[in-house]
Amino acid sequence: MNNPELIKLAIVDKDGALVCPKSGNTFVQNPQDQELLPGVQEAVSRLVADGYVLVIASNQGGVAAGHKTLEDAIAEMQYCLSLLPQIDRAYFCPDYGKTCIAVLRNLSRWVDAGECWGDDRWQYRKPQAGMLYMAQKCACGFGETLEKIIFCAATIKTSTC
Please, what are the domains in the chain?
6-152 (3.40.50.1000)
* pLDDT value at residue 144: 63
Q: What angle do CA 61, 79, 124 make, to 5 degrees?
A: 30
pTM: 0.84
How far, in Å, are 2, 122, 145 from residue 86 at the CA level? 29, 28, 21
pLDDT truncated to tens, each residue of the chain (161 aa)?
Answer: 445 578 899 999 999 999 999 999 999 999 999 999 999 999 999 999 999 999 999 999 899 999 999 999 999 999 999 999 999 899 999 888 788 888 888 775 666 544 555 446 678 888 888 888 888 877 776 556 778 888 888 754 444 33
